[in-house]
Structure 1
Amino acid sequence: MAGVLGVIVSGRTPIEVVPVTETEFTCEIVNADSINHVVVFLTGIQPFPDGLGGSVYIRWPSSNGDDSWHYLGFICNMKPSAIFKVAQLHKSSAQHSGVFGGGMQTYASGSAQIGIMIEPLTSIEGRQAAEGTQVNQHSTLVEFAEKMIRNLVNHTESFSVRLQNPQGGFQDYIPISAFQSWYNSFSRRFEANPYFWRNLNNN
């Protein structure tokens, strides 16, 4: 999977991500103490195999040889790029140790190391990223909420019936069963693929 992954730091040229094993990749970010954001992305050469994604970690060299990483988040075929806020992260304690095998080289002082682990999405989902790194988390949740609500409205509107209002005139009503049928359908699709909502056409 060489050339499949890329890393960009704002204001710099793209950084080559090199394979360490079939499932582990790494790159070095020099002069990393002053960086604010890191973008990790799929280059488009090749997608991840079905059901797999790339969990993204970062670490700075430790004077005591500590092999701990900060978990930033993940990318996958449905989310092929992600922006992570890493400013000041080197001043906090890393929480993840023993993540990668022994082939990960430790870089010189002042540099940071990005590590990417290819693993099942079922293992990645729900993993807690380091506090403050998910600058795009809010926008993702907003997108999910908007698409879910619009899908609900579109579904239930098709069940609406116009009935006479006791106060006069007519009013559109939606039976409760319409909401239940939407919930059953949405839940079933979500269970089969947690990212199906990204492809919803709610126009």
Structure 2
Amino acid sequence: MFGCLVAGRLLQTNLQQIDETHAVFELSNASTINHVCVFLLGNVPFPEGYGATVHLHWPGRGFQLLGMLSNDKPSAIFRLRASFTYSTTTRAFEGQGSLTVPSEAASNTDVTAVLGISIEPLSQIYPQISSIHPNSAGSSNSIHRPLPNAALLAERIVRHLLNYLSSFAASGLGPDVAVPISIIEKWYVTFTNKVKNGGTEFLEREVE
């Protein structure tokens, strides 16, 4: 499903499957790597509403989040050299008992790093990616579209609620009529399910 290409080396397809949602590539002589490209091979797409986060494990320093892949963004280039910072370590691969990562090497000339791929819902991936400092990874690891700012997002949520309530106008619900709490609860359940399954992009489509 995934391929890995280090600049100046042969294409890697030797993906090591850890479980149904986690897999890794080993990167030998990692201290000599400047950039790596990770991509979907095109034979198996992500399930609807899912993508993958990409992580780097440098010996002795844990996993760091680099970026993401999705059906809309099937490839990404990451800068590895000097990209690791302790403040951006990730827990995506914690508890993966079958995963063996290299120990810290005595010499940086023969370090084997691990590139980890974790398949997750897009609704969980986007907040992780938006938290990455722009200088902590390659320039190609941003999500495929910018997240709306808080004020704009709040406006769209309120508009979505008003549009929902307007659909009840034919049944006698008007501007001076108290809204039953059951109607708000129904909207809340429907709205949160949409966000969990596909993010907030549906709000943009509804703004005309």
Contact 2:5/2:36 (8 A) holds in 1: yes
Aligned to 1:75, which of 69, 73, 90?
69
The DSSP-based 3-state class of the residue aligned with 1:125 is helix
Q: CA deviation at 1:98?
A: 6.0
Q: Which residue of 2 aligns with 1:118?
A: 119
* 2:18 counterpart residue number: 20
* Cα distance, 1:74 vs structure 2: 0.6
Q: Distance in 2 between matches of 1:134 and 1:54?
A: 16
Are 2:99 and 1:104 equivalent residues in the alignment? yes
**1:138 deviation in Å?**
7.3
Shift of 1:140: 5.5
- Counterpart check, 1:8 vs 2:12: no
Instruction: Report Cα offsets for 1:79-124 as digits up to 9, x if no partner.
Output: 000111111124x325224634112111263011011111100000
For 1:138 and 1:76, the matched residues in 2 are separated by 11
Structure 2 equivalent of residue 40 of structure 1: 38
Aligned to 1:122, what secondary structure does the other structure show?
helix
- Residue 129 of structure 1 aligns with an amino acid whose one-letter code is I
Q: Which of these residues, 57, 77, 80, is aligned with residue 86 of structure 1?
A: 80
Aligned 1:135-174 pairs, distance under 5 A = 135-136=139-140
1:14-60 per-residue CA deviation (whole Å, 9 max, x = no partner) reads 12222110110001000001211111100011101111111110011
Q: How far, CA to CA, are the matches of 2:118 and 2:17 in structure 1?
A: 10
Supply the RMSD in Å over aligned alpha carbons: 3.0
Q: Which amino acid aligns with 1:69?
A: F
Partner Cα distance (1:38, 1:60) in 2 = 14
Cα–Cα, structure 1 residues 140 and 53, in superposed 2: closer, same or farther, change >3 Å? closer
Of all paired residues, the percent bearing the same amino acid is 32
CA 115–137 in structure 1, closer or farther in 2 if over 3 Å, else same: closer
Partner AA of 2:132 in structure 1: A
Secondary structure of 1:96 counterpart: coil
Counterpart selection for 1:55 from 29, 53, 57: 53
Query: Are the counterparts in 1 of residues 122 and 199 from structure 2 also a CA contact under 8 Å?
Result: no
- In the alignment of these two chains, the number of paired residues is 145
Report the TM-score when normalising by structure 1. Answer: 0.61
Paired with 2:4 and 2:117, the residues of 1 have a C-alpha distance of: 11
TM-score, with normalisation over the residues of structure 2?
A: 0.60
SS in 2 for 1:88: coil
> What code does the residue aligned with 1:43 have?
L
2:10 and 2:29 map into 1 onto residues whose CA distance is 14
Question: Which consecutive unaligned segments of at least 5 residues does structure 1 have?
Answer: 145-179, 185-190, 197-203
CA, structure 1 residues 116+87, in 2 after alignment: closer, same or farther (shift >3 Å)? same
Name the one with the larger strand percent: 1
- Structure 2: which 5+ residue stretches go unaligned? 106-110, 147-158, 164-194, 203-208
